[in-house]
Structure 1
Amino acid sequence: MPAAKSDSPGRVRRIARLIFRVCLFGGLAAIATLVVAVLVTMASLPSFADMMQKPNGQTVRVHASDGSLLLSLGPSYGDWLPYDRIPAEMRNAIVAVEDRRFYSHPGVDPIGVARMFYVAKRLHDEGRRLQGGSTITQQIARNIFLSSKYSYGRKIREAILALAMERKFSKAQILELYLNRVYFGGGAYGIDAASRKFFGHPGDKLNLAEAAIIAGLVKAPSHYSPSADAQAARDRASVVLDVMVDAGTLTPAQAKGVNLDSVTFAPEPKQNSVRYFTDWALSQLDTIVDEQAAPLDVWTTLDKRMQDAADASIRQNTPKDLQGALVSMENDGAVRAMVGGTDYVTSIYNRATQAQRQPGSAFKLFVYLSALEAGVKPGDPVVDEPITIDNWSPRNSSRRFLGPIDVRTAFAFSINTVAAKIGQQVGFDSVADMAHRFGITTQINTHPSMVLGTSDVRLIELTRAFAAISANGNAVTPYGILKVSTTDGTVIYQREAVQPRVLVAPFVAAEMTDLLQTAVNVGTARAAQIGRPVAGKTGTTSSNKDGWFLGFSSGLTTGVWMGRDDAKPIPGLQGGRNPAQAFSAFMRVALQTRPAEKFATDPTLPEWQLEPDDEAYFGNPDQGFGGDGAPAPEAQDEVTGEVPDVQPAPGDVPPPADTPAAPPRAETPAEPQLDQRWLDNVLRDQKRPPQSPPRGN
């Protein structure tokens, strides 16, 4: 037994030596492995020149139809600033706040790692995850070579890369890389881009206060961005100055002398309505190209002159506290202008492409298209009288009935009872099918009241339907992207012409144009006149919740909607007022460079509206009419709502200031007064055989 006791200390020493040897050889093996990994990584690192060219993310430059730049999305890179051009204040600030021992550690900070493990255990006990702890070298390694997904494996690779970079590049080069590549928020990468964005001058002109603000952004770019919260950016900069004092790169007196309140931030560029178009167009980019990394140039259909006119027409004609939207397209579907709201900054919701609203009488386009396709002619006689269909009894806004009239008159004055009769005759399913045939993708109900536009639609889809009539009955698919290329000019997408697809026979489209033109000339849409042939239709929903006007002229189709996002009633809102005025204001500018074109069919007016010559009918295209006079009443447009007075509603806004002023308005045929004497005249006229309009080609 005594011998066993004497052997006990020897056994412990042998075990201790064994453990020591295992740890020693294990540590040496680990160090050797690390050294090999660092050396291999160092050999595979690109050159400093290649590192300078390494981009972060994809930049997309969007061009208008004339090739001019509309906007650039994605990362923004300023000029590359060499180390000696970076202000010392900027270098000192970023080192103090991001990596105080930058000049002394080998790429990984042992003290920082020890502190990281200590904090990690405490956070783990609290159920939280460790954030931060990386040196400047580790951050640049992660930004260039790795992803931001957190994992222990990524942290190990990040450390090896940092050690390799420190072996291959100098501290000055690493700091230069960092300050020209790190993200500072607002899409700005590098101090030059950040300086230009936030202060409006190059990065080599930064002073101490500005450097402190930029250095403070790295921790949380979105939270401390001057664009989002200027005071938060100043408060964070004050912390940076205190850290610089603690690090010894700034004296207390110098820090105290910095007046952060005097720093002037560059104003944010105004996000105008073009962003509604670019948001819509670029949402289709992933479906036409596969490139996800290389910078791209996207060439669009947008016409800047038309877009400016569209923005002005919506801003100036939309009543206060309402929203307005406009979309305008060519007969082939090329979208030339798009406005999704009165202010993109306050609301990025695109009411031209996303909002679904009831179209009111604008939906009668599909009712009358179904009738024309079934053989009804614009001059056919109809009777405006009370009617009940499945316990539903539509009424006219005038609360009166005209008796015997013709189809053209019923459409021009948007008479609801006649629309209901026609819908019943052709079948409500046929009307719904016609709407879907013309590009309406929302659900259409088939209740009798559907003829008055009780199903929700999108403005862009209803506009494409009217564009199909302008295109002689051929289908129109809206598009915004013409070409996509890389920055070296390599074209990776080019839109090809689409073969025409006939929706209705040309003569049906011509007869529909006849009806639409009559509505503008003498009916509910007279405020949309622009001094050249126009075809269009108004729409106003019950309780005046929505106002619409859609029409076309000289190959350009434009749709306008106005209303409230919460769909509350709006007293006085009617399609024949503000929406039609906005259409007129826009089209006068948009069509300035185009010759006036007659439609494929010469419209025939109701007999009591015939004029002795074409000039009285169309007006002189060079002089225009209707823009500065009183808006036309929407005499028979909708289900409910009173017949409006012909004077402008309070708050109606005149056409844009930059729209050419219209000379004195040409004489327009008097509006028929819906009194007994006028009705007697109509009844007397009906005793004569009805005259059908000439058929279009």
Structure 2
Amino acid sequence: MPIEAGNDGGDALDDGAPAPARRPRRVLAGSTTRAEKARAIRGLGALGGLAGLLVALMLLPTACTAGVGARDAADWFESEPDGLSTSGVPQRSKILAADGSTLATFFYQNRVDVPLDRIAPVARRAVLAIEDNRFYQHGAIDSQGTLRALASNLTSGQVTQGGSGITQQLVKNLLLTQADSAAEQQAAKEVTAARKIRELRYAVALEKRFSKDEILRRYLNIAYYGDGAYGIEAASRHYFSKPAARLNLAEAAMLAGVVRYPYAYDPVHHPEAARERRDIVLRRMADLGWLGRDVADRTAAQPIKLHVQDVKSGCVSSKAPFFCDYVQREILTNPVFGATAGDREKLLKRGGLTIRTTLDWRAQRAAQRAVDGHVPRRNSARKAAAEAMVQPGTGEIKAMVVDRKLGSDRVRGKTWINFAADASHGSSIGMQAGSTFKVFTLAAALEEDLPFGTRLMAPRSYTPVGYRDCKGRRVGDASASLRNSADGEGGRTFSLVTGTHHSVNTFFLALEKKVGLCETVKMAERLGMKQASGKPLEQYPSFTLGFNPVSPVRLAAAYAAFGARGRYCSPVAIRQITDASGHKLKVPGAGCEQALDRGVADAVNHVLRGVLTKGTARGMGIGRPAAGKTGTVDNFSAAWFAGYTPDLAAAVWVGDPRGGYKYPMDSLCMDGECYGAVFGATIPAPIWQQSMEGALAETPAASFHEPPSHYFSEGSGEDKVKLPDVRGMRVGAAAARLRHAGFRVAVGGSVTSTAYRENTVAEMSPGPGSAEPGDTVTLRPSRGPGPGAHDPGPDDPFPQPTFGPEPPVTPSPELPTIPPARPG
């Protein structure tokens, strides 16, 4: 709320309601109305009475011979008054990205406090010339100035000069800015003897407490300069798009003139009045001998040249609006920043905070381009997308985007809801996570040292019976059978590896029962998962299928823990906050801890890497070691992809803000492109791929660690494939053929062979048949020919092989999740 606090001449012109309640009429020199003249006469009367009071008060301390009463009164007037405070002047706060660039500004009053040496000397002189030219010669009360102002006003018939000096005006501004209610503001502005006596006592105290330079600095930083600009620095940036240190004479004189009556002399809305007032300042400077008359005249001949730069408060105009909103809500909702909501809002909008955040512009821009490119803001299907990026090992949120602008949902393409965040940080109640939750069951199984080759039957339908929640209660016994409805896959066994790669629902229901529903839930909780509403995760057999509504930022933080080898950190957006005085404030930490064993995390990474090379997200690699998991929600109501490298994790959601079950993506056409049924690999995975490639463009590739060997105790877990018979081939050619087929090769000691010539393969282990891809095949060459030895020649049945491209493998589509089975 703009607050005017000019000198007493200004009071006579504006002694009514606070400024925002009304907009003043244009005031031009020589064009005052009858009402304005009457008002000025009333102001002169009030000023005349106050002038008499001022003189009496100034003479009081010298009346030492008048008796004890006068001496006591003088002592009272000179004593430090109660309640005098110079703190609490509203200053604007700013949110910065990691590189120091500004994301947004928040303020109650748009003010930037600066030291005196960052205010152009000509600007200081201009203010002193028009407001208090004897400021450095007199004390808190200037009797000469008061009488001069009274005489000038009586002569002109208008209030052209105020009777208050700089120190008294500073006091009045302090009282106004510290007023928390309309009544307190009115009391600070009313023209009464009681108010003037209080201000004078405060002025005397300030003159004792601070130097003249410090008083001038505080005044220049607190005064209102019109059009929402408080303090000379904010005013200079607003009107001229330059700092106050670079103000020239014409600009300085204009700003000095505005202070008397900001609403009448505001150059944006009243340019003629502003120019006339500027010229009065220039003439006054010349009259005082502070400026040559010719210089004043030349400057007065110049038009006012503005380069207005508006500073908006809040996140709406930010280039990273939803990340900005996340930071804002963190401050407004976290008790660490104040006991009450009012205290926290006051800190943000008045405290002059510098809030340094974790946002990485490269990641932010890459994510926004990817989201907007695949799900345009005003797309024909009215779908939405959101993505959050989190750094493994720190929990720092590097990017947060929504394919909307921040604003009213009534306008298409805008929303106040941050779909990437929890309810506490963006009003979203979250979205069902789909098969991205299967990773928590996988991690729980690996924590129990189940090897990769562990195989379970995955029937075509599965009736959940015998599950118990973390309170030991049986849950889900009355639920209907659950199926692999999307691709019909089932009726055979899968391993931990292949069941994950193909995201088989019935396999994970069986695996969850094997390791325990509670163990799966606890794994998710250890990795920071909870409902977006803040409530604990609900526990039913279909937990592993992702029926709990969560946010992308929490899911990204959970997956980041795998990239950090089991170290989980809560997502954080703020690195440091300093107040207006440069003091650091306490900020919430990430609370990093080792949530699961490194070897377990390495094993999870090993399995999830295959999702990108041979599973449901085949072909979505990013040219460096990466892992991830697709997620498709029941009835195609939403789709997800969560993936990561050791350097960065991200989670992408695509759905319909109007309700996914009401507007499913089972036959989606959007902006002329039709997708059919939308799985996690259809739109979310390409968004993830593009955004990760952009975000990591200048980051050296990092590798995952190999999992502990005991996880291979029952093989690699891959489905068995045909093992070529390479006996009789030369060793080099045999090794090349086996590697092409996906096997590792070792060469053992030579053996005597009567069937195969020297340097050809005589034995292979395992022998021809079937084996798991990645198995090691040991080749043993022949030592030499014997009777009846085979002699490879031009017609050899195993010539040096040449292989074409490997035939493509079409992965099974992602299976949609199934809603929780509720007890009957």
Judge same fold: TM > 0.5, yes or no.
Answer: yes
**Residue 182 and residue 307 in structure 1: after superposition, are their counterparts in 2 closer, same or farther (change >3 A)?**
same
Residues 76 and 312 (structure 1), Cα distance of their counterparts in 2 relative to 1, 3 Å cut: farther
Matched residue count: 550
Aligned counterpart, 2:564: 471
* Equivalent in the alignment of 1:85: 123
Equivalent residues of 2:225, 2:255 under 8 A apart = no
| Structure 2 SS opposite 1:528 | coil
Match of 1:575 among 677, 680, 689: 680
Deviation at 1:530, TM superposition (A): 0.6
Q: Does 1:387 align with 2:462?
A: yes
State the alpha-carbon separation in 1 of the partners of residues 262 and 636 from structure 2: 51
Query: Does 2:378 align with 1:339?
Result: no
CA–CA distance in 1 between the matches of 2:616 and 2:205? 79
The gaps in structure 2 that reach 5 residues or longer are 1-59, 61-65, 132-142, 151-163, 189-193, 284-300, 408-414, 423-427, 465-477, 669-674, 724-735, 743-803, 814-824
Kindly report which structure 2 residues correspond to 1:542-553, keeping only aligned pairs within 5 A, or say none: 542-553=634-645
More displaced 10-residue stretch of structure 1: 450-459 or 416-425: 416-425
Shift of 1:358: 1.2
In proportion to residue count, which structure has more helix?
Answer: 1
Quick check: 2:370–2:687 contact (8 Å CA) kept in 1?
yes
- SS in structure 2 of the partner of residue 595 of structure 1: coil
Residues 248 and 550 (structure 1 numbering): CA distance in 2 closer, same or farther, change over 3 Å? closer
SS in structure 2 opposite 1:526?
coil
User: 1:393 is matched by which residue type in structure 2?
Assistant: S
Moved more, 494-503 or 459-468: 494-503
1:167 CA drift (Å): 11
Contact kept in structure 1, 2:112 and 2:221, CA below 8 Å: no
Match in the other structure for 1:448: 541
Report deviation, 1:72.
7.5
Deviation at 1:271, TM superposition (A): 1.2
The DSSP-based 3-state class of the residue aligned with 2:701 is coil
State the SS of the aligned residue for 2:568: coil
Amino acid at match of 1:181: I
Assess if the C-alpha contact under 8 Å between 1:83 and 1:173 holds in 2: no
Q: What residue in structure 1 maps to residue 41 of structure 2?
A: none
CA deviations over 1:388-414 (Å, ceiling 9, x no partner): 343323333535234214132232222
Aligned partners of 1:555 and 1:208: how far apart in 2?
Answer: 51
**How far 1:208 moved relative to its partner?**
9.5
Matches within 5 A, 1:114-513: 140-144=170-174, 147-150=178-181, 155=188, 160-162=198-200, 165=203, 178-183=219-224, 188-201=229-242, 204=247, 237=270, 265-266=308-309, 271-273=318-320, 275-276=324-325, 278-279=327-328, 287=336, 300-321=357-378, 322-335=383-396, 337-342=398-403, 345-346=406-407, 349-354=417-422, 355=428, 356-374=430-448, 376-379=450-453, 380-389=455-464, 390-407=478-495, 408-442=497-531, 443-482=536-575, 500-503=593-596, 505-513=597-605
> Which ranges of structure 1 fall in alignment gaps of 5 or more residues?
1-26, 94-101, 110-133, 225-232, 251-256, 618-665, 676-697
% identical aligned pairs: 23
Q: Deviations over 1:98-141 (max 9, x none)?
A: xxxx99869999xxxxxxxxxxxxxxxxxxxxxxxx99976631
Tell me the equivalent position of 2:289.
Answer: none
TM-score, normalization by structure 2: 0.53
Contact map agreement 1:395 1:416 (CA 8 A) in 2: yes
- Residue 362 of structure 1, CA deviation: 1.0
Which amino acid counterpart does residue 531 of structure 1 have in structure 2? G
The CA deviation string for residues 124-163 of structure 1, in whole angstroms up to 9 with x for no partner, is: xxxxxxxxxx999766314436721345797456752246
Counterparts in 2 of 1:82 and 1:402: CA distance versus 1, 3 Å: closer
State whether structure 2 residue 89 is matched by structure 1 residue 56.
yes
Q: 1:411 to 1:89 in 2, by over 3 A?
A: same
Where do residues 645-660 of structure 1 align in structure 2 (5 Å cutoff)?
none
CA distance in 2, matches of 1:268, 1:480: 23
1:614–1:344 Cα change, 3 Å: farther
Q: Which one has the largest radius of gyration?
A: 2
What are the Cα deviations for residues 426-446 of structure 1, in whole angstroms up to 9, with x where unaligned?
443443233222211323222
> Which stretch shows the higher mean deviation, 513-522 or 487-496?
487-496
Query: Structure 1 residue 560 and structure 2 residue 652: aligned?
Result: yes
Whether the 8 Å CA contact 1:533–1:599 is kept in 2: the answer is no
Contact kept in structure 2, 1:527 and 1:576, CA below 8 Å: no
Q: Distance in 1 between matches of 2:421 and 2:260?
A: 36
1:626-637 superposed matches below 5 A:
none
Q: Give the superposed CA RMSD.
A: 5.8
Which residue is equivalent to 1:525?
617
Q: Deviations over 1:544-566 (max 9, x none)?
A: 44332111113422222233444
- Which aligned pairs between 1:565-644 and structure 2 lie closer than 5 A? 565-568=657-660, 569=663, 570=665, 571=668, 573-591=678-696, 592-601=698-707, 605-607=718-720
Residue equivalent to 1:21: none
Are the equivalent residues in 1 in contact too, given 2:353–2:580 (CA < 8 A)? yes
User: In 1, distance between residues paired with 2:165 and 2:635?
Assistant: 64
Cα offsets for 1:619-670 (capped at 9, x unmatched): xxxxxxxxxxxxxxxxxxxxxxxxxxxxxxxxxxxxxxxxxxxxxxx97762
For residues 358 and 526 of structure 1, the distance between their equivalents in structure 2, rounded to whole angstroms, comes to: 23
> What's the CA shift string for 1:503-551, capped at 9, x where partnerless?
3x44433332233122221222235311222110112323444332111
Q: CA deviation at 1:196?
A: 1.1
Aligned-pair distance for 1:209? Answer: 14
Task: Determine the C-alpha separation between the residues in 2 that align with 1:498 and 1:139.
Answer: 49
- 1:43–1:400 distance in 2 versus 1, CA, 3 Å: closer
Are 2:78 and 1:39 aligned? yes
One-letter code aligned to 1:400: G
